[in-house]
Structure 1
Amino acid sequence: MRPPLCHVLISLTLLCNALLLYYTWRLQLRPMGRQAPTPVLSPGVTVIVREFRTFEHGLVELSHSFLRARPTLPLLIVSDTLPYPPPSLPLSPGLKLLRLHPSPEQPGSASHLESHVHTRFVALVPDGTFLEPPDLLDRMLRELRNAPPSVKIIAAAAGPALHCLHLNVSLREWTVEYGEAGAGSSCGAVSGAAVLLLRSHDLFELPFPLARPLQAAIFIQAALRGWEVQVLADASFSRTPLPATDHGRWKAEQAEREEEAVTMRTLGVRLVRGPGGAERWFGCSKETPRCFGTVVGETPEYLYEGHWTPPCCLRALRATALHVISVLEASSVRYWLEGGSLLGAARHGDIIPWDYDVDFGIYLEDVALCAELRGAQGGSLVDAGGFVWERAVEGDFFRVHYSQSNRLHVDLWPFYPRDGMMTRDSWTGHPQDVEFPESFLRPMQTLPFAGGVAQAPNRHLKLLQMKFGKRAIEEPEYPNPALLRMRGR
């Protein structure tokens, strides 16, 4: 007797379910994924030459020097693009020319540094260096092996003696600051051309191990990890500075400036301050857009990323604020620090370090006294300093931009007295936007602000309590705590 079709289907379903359960059980017993075997590294050193110029270099002489002293030495010449014309490098099984820029006909690993290093240590060697005396790499190895755990880099001079520097990196403030290292203190960086020795796995831990300028990029990333640098005492490699021609040096300087700008922006650095106080800026300017986009919910994007206002933006805000103050005062327009700017003056004597604009209140009846404000009523006006005055599209107030390209701005809020209270026709809905007695403005006082002084309400601490709460100065907070609060609060 043939079984009914429904019985056959039920049996097949049960069998499929049993097989599915069996294979699921087997998969759970297996590892989640096959791990790539950890490569076994030899105890030697791989020399990496990264800092050279493809248009004028000493790669041939460098290679001969290192391979003559140590014929089996692994030596990697690493470049974004191949040198042109191709150098006549010595024949050696350990010598490789590695192009970092991927090529479509090669496997992805071909441009990865890790695929070409098979030793426990690496030495980053600048162009023009010679392995003289020949035992220097061995001395550096012994120094690193005997160093405290915090020391991850051994630096040996390549040419003139090195100078030990203290290095402070604040990604929150987008700033790198070098200082003189005290006697007996550890180095965070060194000035001068150097050969750097470190463990291969430490180099590979860095997200940008071969960014240029190489030494600066290595030291900044090392400082963020708490690594220390130890200088090899009483020893230096022989070195011929390259490029050697005036035109080559000029081209190299231009290229290094461009590389440094790209690398600093990649690392989240907008300001580098040298030991003597000299500053190099890598952020926005009058000719570029600002460093952040449209602000949503009073919370700029950089706050979500753990940063405060980029220093170039603070610099632009200060310049705009001081310019606006000078124009208003020259026009006899009564103005005062408003909102968060008044809070910044009271707490910091400056713009709040995480703020993104500046606010001033002005008397509505004084608008007609200022040519720039009159010009802004009908559209926009660009003054002799390149600052842009316009009526804001968001409400009945004025806005002064740093430039036509860079829209960092100062807001001017027109107030007028009504029944002894200062009020205005345009409100933003922020909790601190409230009417207040005109007596706070009769008379006004001055407070330090943005590198100068600005008019401010009298009894400003009491006014700030009205606007922000009793402990606004003692307990800093981000503009919209409902979206994002300061860490630790």
Structure 2
Amino acid sequence: MRITPCQAALAAAIALNLLVLLCSLLAPTAAPPSSSSSSSSSSSCRHPAALPGVTVILRDFPDGPNHDVAATARSFSSLPGVPVLVATEVAPYPPVPLPAGVTVLPLRPQPHRPPPRPDSAVRTLHVALVPDGARAVPGLLRRMRDALEASSDATTKVVAAAVGTLRPRCLALDVDIKAWTARYGHADPGADTCGALDGAPAVLLLRTRDLFSLPFPLTRPVATSVSLQAALRGWRLRLLPDSFPLAPRPPLSPHEQWKAQNSLEKQRRTLLELFGIKLEVLADGQRRWHGCAKDTPRCFGTIHAQTPQYLLAGRWTPPCCLRALRATARHVVAELEAAGVRYWLEGGSLLGAVRLGDIIPWDYDVDLGLYRDDLPKCRWLAAVLATGRPLEDPEGFFWEKAAEGEFFRVHFSRTNRLHVDLWPFYARPDGLMTKDTWLGHRQDVEFPESFLVPLVPVAFAGIAAKAPNDPRAFLELKFGPGAIENPEYPNPGVRRLAQDAQREPPR
């Protein structure tokens, strides 16, 4: 049978339309192609778009044999049309038989495999992060999804439901990245949303695009990780009155309880270190510190160009470091005063005392001047002078002569080198105070001894320390007019305070 040109054209048109229809069915929500990509978009089908429904991800489960992954996965995979993923760096071990259709989602990169893409494994519009031991309730995931989509508050991005008979507490949460601090508080009793959950496990449900817009979407502990990242974005969390059952388990032995608690604490420490959180202020006012112990190194390296590396990241001095510096300054001042050494606050430390009564929030050490003739009065300085070797005092502070020149340092400990610098000055015949080592800092200038006669007390780091008798004139001689009223970083040529004072872009 002979096909006419008209019939051939008609058949080609029908085939083309069928191809376009097939592509549109596979990608119903794809955006129209732009003019720059229309040719490539029309020539091939896109990946399927997200589908209605909820994917369950099991992420928070204990390491070792005391987990409930298989039973939890079996419970949720029994729900019609609910995909279940077990997200883990290492497959659960000892090995457990996972139900048919449950997929292990590896998170650890392997040299012989493509990099992990957990977002590509989720095909649904919503995702539920389910803790170990939870049991499914028919319809509850759908109600959580409906509650999220029905919310009139655009900042409500997470819906939660308790697991077990205990309900988590709803807390307020503020994360200050610049200050390395997370502050928890009591949530407003009249509000139906909060910033974080505490005290009991919960299922968290989010839109898939929101979860995977987070830089650390599946970092454990999941509830803490999501809450901290949500707080930085102004997201809110809504806790529903519904709950999922918690499977009964045999009681753990004391050793198993210790291992479980130790593992959870290790996860928290790793998470907070990853996020750069050094201080948690709890709702009851208690403080949890992370870093700057006597037996840990300080959390920043050698300072170059008077600019700590954290300043370049838009952060100020970690609060645990400020706490250690205060403790060191109070100890040194007490030793000097007990020995009758004439000392005074110098440089940026005096600036902090006059402005704030404390260390400047971005300063990384404390500077004290003292009379060189008084060095032998302090037993620790006298011992360093006599032996040429550093020494540790009974309270664990470490005294030494600085390698950079004729001055001394007192460190928070032998290991943690947060320190107070002690600068020996002496009077020249013309009445100017001078010293033998100058490091080229802006405040390194000679000054009249009259500033030190007499010395006066000033509030600093929780104590009354000694200061020059005219602090304003002394500081303006060192730093220039307006030094007190116009704060600036130590080296504005590298980074200026104004760079961090600018408003962050809206989220």
Please give the TM-score of this superposition, normalised by the length of structure 2: 0.85
Q: 2:194 aligns with which of 187, 194, 207?
A: 187
| Cα offsets for 1:372-428 (capped at 9, x unmatched) | 111222131221222221111212111111222221111101112233332222222
Instruction: In structure 1, give the amino acid aligned to 2:149.
Output: R
Q: Matches of 2:38 and 2:302 in 1, distance apart?
A: 43
| 1:114 matched to 2:119 | yes
- Check the 8 A contact 1:53/1:243 in 2, yes or no: no
Cα shift at 1:318: 1.1
Tell me which residue corresponds to 1:484.
495
Q: After the TM superposition, which parts of structure 1 deviate over 3 Å for at least 4 consecutive aligned residues? A: 29-39, 102-105, 240-244
Q: Matches of 2:465 and 2:349 in 1, distance apart?
A: 10
- Check the 8 A contact 2:330/2:463 in 1, yes or no: yes
Tell me which residue corresponds to 1:174.
180
Specify the SS of the correspondent of 2:245: strand
Tell me which residue corresponds to 2:212.
204
Kindly report the root-mean-square deviation, in angstroms, between the aligned alpha carbons of the 2 structures.
Answer: 2.2
Identity of aligned residues (%): 50
Tell me which residue corresponds to 1:311.
319
Instruction: In structure 1, give the amino acid aligned to 2:90.
Output: T
Cα shift at 1:431: 2.2
| 1:151 matched to 2:156 | yes
| 1:102 matched to 2:112 | no
| 1:349 matched to 2:357 | yes
- Check the 8 A contact 1:381/1:388 in 2, yes or no: yes
Specify whether residues 388 and 142 from structure 1 end up closer, same or farther in structure 2 by C-alpha distance, changes over 3 A only.
same
Q: Matches of 2:483 and 2:394 in 1, distance apart?
A: 38
Tell me which residue corresponds to 2:460.
449
Q: Matches of 1:86 and 1:196 in 2, distance apart?
A: 27
Q: Matches of 1:471 and 1:33 in 2, distance apart?
A: 63
Matches within 5 A, 1:229-248: 229-232=237-240, 234-240=241-247, 244-246=251-253, 247-248=255-256
- Check the 8 A contact 1:57/1:242 in 2, yes or no: no
Specify the SS of the correspondent of 2:317: coil
- Check the 8 A contact 1:242/1:249 in 2, yes or no: no
Matches within 5 A, 1:245-284: 245-246=252-253, 247-284=255-292
| 1:83 matched to 2:89 | no
| Cα offsets for 1:289-323 (capped at 9, x unmatched) | 21111111111111111010111211111111111
- Check the 8 A contact 1:444/1:457 in 2, yes or no: yes
Cα shift at 1:214: 1.0
- Check the 8 A contact 2:53/2:81 in 1, yes or no: no
Q: Matches of 1:34 and 1:190 in 2, distance apart?
A: 47
Q: Matches of 2:40 and 2:94 in 1, distance apart?
A: 44
Specify whether residues 286 and 202 from structure 1 end up closer, same or farther in structure 2 by C-alpha distance, changes over 3 A only.
same
Matches within 5 A, 1:41-440: 41-54=50-63, 55-68=65-78, 70-91=79-100, 93=101, 95-105=102-112, 107-108=113-114, 111-132=116-137, 134-147=138-151, 148-159=153-164, 160-185=166-191, 186-191=193-198, 192-232=200-240, 234-240=241-247, 244-246=251-253, 247-377=255-385, 378-418=388-428, 419-440=430-451
Unaligned runs of 5+ in 1: 1-28
Cα shift at 1:325: 0.9
- Check the 8 A contact 1:120/1:199 in 2, yes or no: yes
Cα shift at 1:461: 2.0
Q: Matches of 1:330 and 1:481 in 2, distance apart?
A: 38
Q: Matches of 2:447 and 2:248 in 1, distance apart?
A: 67
Instruction: In structure 1, give the amino acid aligned to 2:50.
Output: L
**Larger deviation: 317-326 or 336-345?**
317-326
- Between the two proteins, the alignment pairs up a number of residues equal to 454
Q: Matches of 2:119 and 2:299 in 1, distance apart?
A: 34
- Check the 8 A contact 2:434/2:447 in 1, yes or no: yes
Please give the TM-score of this superposition, normalised by the length of structure 1: 0.88
Q: Matches of 1:40 and 1:417 in 2, distance apart?
A: 79
Q: Matches of 1:310 and 1:243 in 2, distance apart?
A: 43
Instruction: In structure 1, give the amino acid aligned to 2:93.
Output: Y
| Cα offsets for 1:416-450 (capped at 9, x unmatched) | 22333322222222222222222222222222212
Q: Matches of 1:72 and 1:144 in 2, distance apart?
A: 20
Q: Matches of 2:308 and 2:331 in 1, distance apart?
A: 24
Specify the SS of the correspondent of 1:108: coil
Q: Matches of 1:459 and 1:240 in 2, distance apart?
A: 70
Specify the SS of the correspondent of 1:344: helix
Specify whether residues 478 and 120 from structure 1 end up closer, same or farther in structure 2 by C-alpha distance, changes over 3 A only.
same
